[in-house]
Every structure is written in structure tokens, then in C-alpha cells.
Structure 1
């Protein structure tokens, strides 16, 4: 019986580890810079072909190139160009049914000789598919078979033995991202379109209308300009927003009082029973329109000097309809 001995890790200094890491980053950067210096003219035709395509784009690959193809498909879809990933190894076993006649197929391969891809090329051509190859070698079967070729040539992989897909996959990914963004711009895809494709999480919440999440009714802390500071304190404590909106008898917003205003008033030892709210309110507070979306509120709260915790919500006539707290955005 042969005893298996685990190879001991090579001892190294912290400086050596940093240098090894830096070598990989430098190698991948070099591959990107080499491609950037001589971007092929075929890129223009490829962008035009994808932008004109009305069927979903098939992004096809196997192995590490397959992982790149999957990410690129997701990026295309995210930026308004429907796309899906097709594993070349599974394509010959039924998954090729997802590719319609006349579809555009984006093929990723470093060697350009991958059997799983080569064997399905005749089927794709028979379906009149537009074949676009992102291929590491220009003198390979795949490069000769595609309608448009984007050579993804590198001087060498970035790992220490020159064999692991590192620089090659980084370049493939960059080319895929470049195509996805260029096509998106050609299709006049907007930021609002992007947010509609991302309904979950903070991205998606940016498209939510203000009126859907603002505090209203009994949750809304309001007071008249004549209310005393003591009365104002009670209103603010009940509202739990750290602020109160000051309105006139027609409910038009005339000012805002926040916790800081109250603290400064108390530190100055002013009377809380005789001082009216209008004496310490902010008479021109930042407000947001009733038809705005949360994304606009995020920008206003973030970019205002010192930051904002609350935003009164008003209509075109200045009447108060609600108030938005920063937690209404972050905790949604």
C-alpha cells in the first residue's frame, strides 16, 4: 500500500506573498492594456449586430470560459439586452433547443478548439445564427467558423505556472462587459430602465414613489407656528422622527423644527412655555415633491451639507402631505 504524503505549503515571508499577488494583478492589467492598444474593428460590427437583435442573446462557453459567459449574459440582461447562458457541454444534449433560428450566439473560448463548442457549430449555422467569437487564438477552428471575431489574445496567463485561466478570463470578461455597455448605450438604455430591472434591495427601492412610504396621518408630527416649545416637544416625541413640521391653518408648510433646534434653544436657557415654534423653526427647509421617487430623496439626503434625516413631502401648492425619514429608505 502506497502512503500518500500531503505536500507541505512553501514557507514565505509576507513581502513575498504581496509580490506574488501583485504579479497576478500586473499580468491581468497587461492583457487588458495590450487589447486596448489595438481594439479590433470587428467590435463596431458586433455592437451593431447585437443592438439590432430582437431575440435573446445566447452566451455560450464551457469551463472557466463558460463561467465568464454566464456573467456576461447576466450583464447584458441587466443593461436591457435579454440574454441567457448556454453551457456548451449541455447544448448537445438538448439545451440547444433554447437557441431560435436567426439568433445571435456569443461564443467564449480561449483555445478555440473546445470539442463541446466545435461539435455544435454546424447546428448553429444551419439555424442561420449569427456567430460571434471571443477567442484567444485567431488561427483556430472556432475563429474560422464565426461571423465576427474578437481576438482575445494574451501574452500569457498571470499565474506562476502560466496555465490557470487568469489573464485570459479577465480579458474575456472585459470584452463582454464592453459589448454589453456599448449595446446598452446604442439602445438608449437609461438609469431608470436599469432600476426597473432590479426591483429587490436598495437599488429597486430607488424607483418606489415617495407617497408609498412616507409617514402620514397620525404618524405625521405637525404643529402650528404659535405652538409653544413645550407643546412642540410633545408632538416630536409622539412622532418619533426627531422633527416636526410647522404648518399654517391651510396645512401649508411654513417651517421645520428638528432635535438640534430644540437642543440649542434649551442650551440658551430660553423658556419652553412662552417661546413659540416659529421663533426657532427653519423657515425654508429642504422639501421633496409628492410625485418624486425614493432615489431622488436618497440623493438629497446624502448630498445636503451635514446630511438630512427627514424630508417633508409637499405638493405644488406647498401643502404638507407627509414626511420621509431616512429609516424609511434604509429599512424598507
Structure 2
């Protein structure tokens, strides 16, 4: 065989489109890293405290691409428990400024810091004693000098091939808005339950469904006493088709859980199932859920403990109230 035949094949060249794609992501990531490296702690904390203390809705103001980012911030703030609305800078001078009340906090987005539509209404905002927070690309600009609190969102270059399309700058502004919204939400002690109450529709809303309305209960529950034989146990499990049975005492307190897998493991260990009872086969401390929990609580718990298909539902005293099966949850 010739030496030529043994030579490794040269690697296939990376397609240009793939490189272009990666270059944009890398450039935007670099813009975020550069911002973080120079982030002042005191100034950000002061802005978060200001926003968290507001009782009136926060006004998010921008124009063009910055207006879209302002709309995203308003939506995220509201979603995380801080009322906010977006104001189009162009429409503000034609009547929409009436939505701004005395003392409102206004968050301004502008990459150039000289957006004409915002500069035009700046005196009117100041006349209403509005607190102005600027997320602005140029620190030496008219808007940067006019605001009460400035977050300098400067980028060295945009990520597009001609260096002109809002890319790195909009990504940075969007990230700053998200960071503000989350920090303010945490300062206001906004919880997961609060978030779900703000999202009654769709998958998020369904997570607020009470466990009580989903669980199997009463005669639909596969239950046995600790002294039940394996034959009785199998009959109960087969009759209720949950692949498991709860072991309870005479006060209906949950003692343990037996699954199909528990019985199979005893068979594989060559144990004599005819001489043992439910108490010897059961899991003594199964994972349970409270009767006042929601579907979201259950899904969160199952995500942390994969492989569980059945959950007993108990009251604060440990008495069995019902059972949940994964199939019941999937239907929701």
C-alpha cells in the first residue's frame, strides 16, 4: 500500500454560513462579558431598590428596536410581579404621554443616547417629577446626561458583517432588562406561586390545579394493611391498575408503598413470596405530596426525583388522602 493511501484525509472546511452564525453568537457573548467586567455594584443596587419600591406601574420607553426591548422589559416586569407598561416614544408626543403620572419611574432605552423622539418629550417627563433610568449605549450623550440613573450599555461593535444592524447592542440591552426584572422581583419577594397566579392560561396555568382535583381517592385507592399477604397485595394492585398499593394502619396513616418493581426485586432475590407480608415488601418512606399541593408542586418534585410513577397524597398528620399516577398528570 502506498504512503499516499495511508495519509489522513484533510478535514472538510467549515461551511461559511456556519462560521457566520457562530461569529454572531461569539460577538454578542463578548459584549455581555465586557459589560459584566465593568459593572458597578452600587449603581445597580440603587436602581433595583428604586424599582422595587414603586407602587405605580413602571414606564418602559423606547423607539424602533429599542422600543421592542422596552416592550419586552414591561412584559417581563409585569410577569414577575412588578406592574409596568410600554410607551412608544413616537406616540408619546401625540397624546400617549397622558398615561404617565406624576412621580412615575421611566426606563429609557436608547443605543445612541440621542433618540429624537425621546429627547423631545424629556422636558415633559421631568416636569412630572418622573425618575428617569437610562439604559443607554453612549455615556456622553444628551440622554445619558439627563437621566437620574444610568446603566451604560456600550458595545465596541455590532455583531453583523457591516457593523450597523442592532445586534450586540440589542442583546446587551435585553439582558440588562431581564436582569433588572429578575432582581426587582427577588427584592419584592415574588414567589413561584405568585408567578403561576399571573399565568392562568396554558401549561403554566394548569400547574395551579389543586392536587385534590387530580388524585384518585375513596374506593379507587389500592390500599392494604401491613399484615396483608402477597396474594392479597397482588389482587389489590391488579384490581386498581396503578402498579402500586399503599400500606396503611387502622387509622389510615401511610406506612409504606409497594410497587410492581418491589415485588420483582424480591423474586429476583429468590425470596419466598408465600411467607412474607406487605410490611416486608414495602418501601417504608415513600415520596409523598401534601393534599394542599398543586400540580406545579408535583411536577417540580418529580423532576427532582425521576422514575417515580405513583405518589401517595397525605394530610398534615400523614393520613392517606389519595394517590396520583403519572398518567393522570400527563393527561393534564
Counterpart CA distance in 2 for 1:134 and 1:268 is 66
TM-score between both structures, scaled by the size of structure 2: 0.83
1:10 aligned residue = none
Query: C-alpha displacement at 1:211, in angstroms?
Result: 2.7
Question: What is the number of equivalent residue pairs in this alignment?
Answer: 320
1:99 is aligned to 2:91:
no
2:148 aligned residue = 147
Cα separation, partners in 2 of 1:202 and 1:130, compared to 1, 3 Å: same
Residues 48-57 or 118-127, more deviating:
118-127
Cα separation, partners in 2 of 1:36 and 1:226, compared to 1, 3 Å: closer
Cα separation, partners in 2 of 1:226 and 1:87, compared to 1, 3 Å: same
Q: Gapped runs of 5+ residues in structure 2?
A: 1-12
1:124-180 per-residue CA deviation (whole Å, 9 max, x = no partner) reads: 222221122211122333223322222211111111000110011011112212222
Counterpart CA distance in 2 for 1:167 and 1:25 is 9
Q: Gapped runs of 5+ residues in structure 1?
A: 1-12
1:193-243 per-residue CA deviation (whole Å, 9 max, x = no partner) reads: 334333445544555443332211232222334545444344323423221
Cα separation, partners in 2 of 1:276 and 1:182, compared to 1, 3 Å: closer
Residues 108-117 or 140-149, more deviating:
140-149
Matched ranges for 1:262-277 at <5 A: 262-264=263-265, 276-277=277-278
Counterpart contact for 1:112–1:141, Cα < 8 Å: yes
2:5 aligned residue = none
1:64 aligned residue = 65
Question: Aligned to 2:15, what secondary structure does the other structure show?
Answer: helix
Counterpart CA distance in 2 for 1:152 and 1:193 is 31
Cα separation, partners in 2 of 1:283 and 1:134, compared to 1, 3 Å: closer
1:327 aligned residue = 327
Query: C-alpha displacement at 1:283, in angstroms?
Result: 3.7
Counterpart CA distance in 2 for 1:94 and 1:239 is 66
Cα separation, partners in 2 of 1:246 and 1:45, compared to 1, 3 Å: closer
Counterpart CA distance in 2 for 1:38 and 1:161 is 26
Cα separation, partners in 2 of 1:57 and 1:287, compared to 1, 3 Å: same
Counterpart contact for 1:302–1:308, Cα < 8 Å: no
